[in-house]
Chain A
Amino acid sequence: MRHDALAAAGAARHRRMGIAIACAALGAALASCGQQAVPSAEAQPRAGAPAKRIVSIVPAVTEMLFAIGAGPGVVAVSSFDNWPPEVRSLTRVGALLDPDIERTLRLHPDMVVVYGTQSEFETKLTRAGIRTFPYVLGGLDNLMATIRRLGPLVGRSAEAGQVADALQARFDAIRARVAGKRRPRTLLVFGREPGTLRAIDASGGVGFLSDIVALSGGDNVFGSEKREAVRVGTESILAAAPEVIIDIHYGRTLSPKEIDRERAAWKTLPAVPAVRTGRVALLVGDEFVVPGPRLAAAAEAIADVIHPVRRR
């Protein structure tokens, strides 16, 4: 999944990367030897003053900042940010595994958005007198809550309230549209080996993807697993017999030929009701895996798959 989405699940694995990180950190430290990287005291904002120079290494929060009109204050983003288009020209300061403290400090930010698990990075920033905004991945409600929490910190409380309300209204509209309808058994896949049904990662019963399936009137076949991601084999899928399969692809666009190939991969399981009745939907885009404001559009697309709207 994209950067945010499995941050928590991947935390343990990051330890494996410790050596690589240590080497990179050493390299960075050597490269910047002799340069003054610590910001001067007068650059620090007064406590409580709205942040004017923001570094965000969480793509979902970057999108939220732009959505509430704080975009012009964002001075740097993570290596993985690519939305909205304005961020593409911004400075990059690493990401979850390799936050670059030197670069970050040199930009003199007054607020840095970090992952909740980046305690070391956060400690360094705090020691430099910079306010941090730790982001913790959560369910769908976390989107609105995070936007509302961001508002006052960047002097945009009213806009944040409006954006959160508008998003909530879109989610409520989906919920109202599917209310009372039969909830088809739904499998949401967000990762697998291209072209095959190997290494399938599906949504468990926790997290924003699971929330979206529920909101969209689907019954998540792996909803009883209390985790965000479950690695399942084809046996579990045959046994779960989903009536709808949502197959999410992200990171890059797929050519029509690739889309055909990915759809054909499911044909190896013809006994699965969704395959038999042609209800396997390929959804392509980062909005399905970055839990930012684009989740409303993602949820609408997923709801359209689970409960198709008849359009004239």
Chain B
Amino acid sequence: MSLRRRMLITVAVFGLIAVAALVLAPLVGSAPISLRRAFDPSVPFADNADAQILFVSRLPRTLAAALVGAALAAAGVVFQALLRNPLATPFTLGVSAGAALGAILAITLPVSLAFAGVGAVPIASFAGALGAVAMVYVLSTIRRRGMSTSVLLLAGITLNAFFSALILFVQYMADFSQTMRTVRWLMGDLDVGSYAPILAALPFTLLAFAVFACLPRSLNLLTLGSDAAAARGVDVVRTQRLAFFSASLATGAAVSLAGPVGFIGIIVPHLVRLLVGSDHRLVLPASALFGAAFLVICDVAARTLIAPMVLPVGILTALIGGPFFLWLLIHKTS
């Protein structure tokens, strides 16, 4: 089968899964709703509880889940290729720890940063993510042209630990209710409240995806090692830089929207690789689509399992995805 055909089939199949999840998820929830009433034009929206459940409660969460799932899964693929390390995640290089520190400072400091319907926490966490990205980049390039992946990895991990310690310190000094809020934020949650935070995160995610679209061929060669890639005409420094910044941007946008939702960024890429092989031209789009579908499904579970209460979706991603991944792992490798 030609590559073109395989790409078409892969994108079609995973796209179908993602679209099905996106369409079906808003129809499921803790409260039964009547679709006929929700779309009844004779009932004004202000009085239409069914329409509000659909459009105010469920749809923003579903869209946020799709955005975050796609961004984290694709960023995971890119980081794993960039660092040539199958254990790399979008959170390995300290982006999420920087975001978490920003979020936690926004929760504990009595300064209101809320802007245009976006709360202080998403804004501060995005700023924290950008700060961490800048620091890691400067550290990894300060002594040489281009990025050293081993320095990148070590700088990222150290920064991660450093930010985590700062987070613990701020948390420890915070009062009880603030500590509770930070712990909850760290679990990862898709309760975005409105469309405003999604719209705020969207341009950054789209920009990152536009860069991702140009990367797969270079990433394929990069996984052979930078010398081998350079020998085949890849501009290694430029590719590394593009990969690093785009994946970091996608991660920062996703984390500022939903907190550090774990598991997706490491397991979805591997899961997809088990299904479609390791060619990034297939893995990258398939991971983005599958990540979106997977988080949308997890969110349905988060909204309904213990209704009327909601679970933070970050608790469920590994609980649902872990056994599935292990099953696939054993099935495929036997």
Contacts and interface: CB of A to CB of B under 8 A. Distances in A.
Interface of A: 1-3, 6, 10, 13, 16-17, 19-20, 24, 79-80, 95-98, 191, 193-200, 222, 225, 230-236, 238-241, 250-252, 258, 261, 268-272, 276
B56 A268 contact: yes
Interface in B167-207: 168-169, 171-172, 175-177, 179-181, 183-184, 189, 191-194
B183 A276 contact: no
22 contacts: A2-B176, A13-B183, A17-B168, A20-B168, A20-B169, A80-B176, A95-B176, A195-B112, A195-B119, A197-B193, A231-B309, A232-B310, A233-B30, A234-B56, A235-B31, A235-B58, A236-B309, A238-B57, A239-B308, A251-B177, A258-B112, A261-B114
Interface in B221-279: none
Contacts of A3: 175-176
A20 B179 CA distance: 13
Contacts of B309: 225, 230-232, 236
Nearest to A289: B177
Nearest to B107: A193
A6 B308 CA distance: 20
A236 B30 CA distance: 7
B219 to A, nearest CB: 36
Contact of B176 (A6, A225, A271): A6
Contacts of A261: 114
Nearest to A204: B309
Contacts of A197: 193-194
A195 B53 CA distance: 20
A80 B308 contact: no
B46 A239 contact: no
Contact of B112 (A194, A199, A236, A238): A194
Contacts of B110: 252
Nearest to B167: A20
B308 A198 contact: no
Given A199-B184, A235-B58, A271 B49 contact: yes
A73 to B, nearest CB: 26
B52 interface: yes
A252 B110 CA distance: 9
Of A16, A233, A252, A269, the most chain B CB neighbours within 10 A belong to: A233
B121 A241 contact: no
Contact of A10 (B53, B57, B120, B176): B176
Nearest to B186: A16
Given A20-B168, A238-B52, A239-B31, A233 B191 contact: yes
B326 interface: no
Given A98-B172, A235-B31, A251-B175, A268 B308 contact: no
A95 B173 CA distance: 11
Given A3-B176, A235-B29, A235-B57, A268 B168 contact: no
A236 B308 contact: yes
A276 B31 CA distance: 20
A15 B119 CA distance: 29
Nearest to A230: B309
A2 B192 CA distance: 24
B121 A225 contact: no
A233 to B, nearest CB: 5
A22 to B, nearest CB: 11
B314 to A, nearest CB: 13
B280 interface: no
Interface string B43-79: 0011111011100111001000000000000000000
Contact of B46 (A24, A97, A276): A276
Given A230-B309, A271-B49, A271-B52, A13 B180 contact: yes
Contacts of B192: 198
Contacts of A233: 30, 57, 61, 191, 303, 310
B120 A96 contact: no
B308 A232 contact: yes
B307 interface: yes
A234 B180 contact: no
Nearest to B178: A251
Nearest to A197: B193
Contacts of A97: 172, 176, 179
Given A238-B52, A238-B53, A17 B46 contact: no
A273 B182 CA distance: 32
Interface in B287-314: 303, 307-310
A24 B310 contact: no
B119 to A, nearest CB: 5
Given A19-B168, A20-B171, A1 B176 contact: yes
B172 A235 contact: no
A276 B184 contact: no
Nearest to A258: B112
A239 B31 CA distance: 6
Contacts of A276: 46-47
Contacts of B179: 13, 17, 97
Nearest to B112: A194
Nearest to B51: A271
Given A194-B114, A234-B56, 15 more contacts: A1-B177, A10-B180, A24-B172, A96-B176, A191-B177, A195-B120, A196-B119, A198-B191, A225-B308, A230-B309, A235-B57, A238-B52, A258-B112, A271-B47, A271-B48
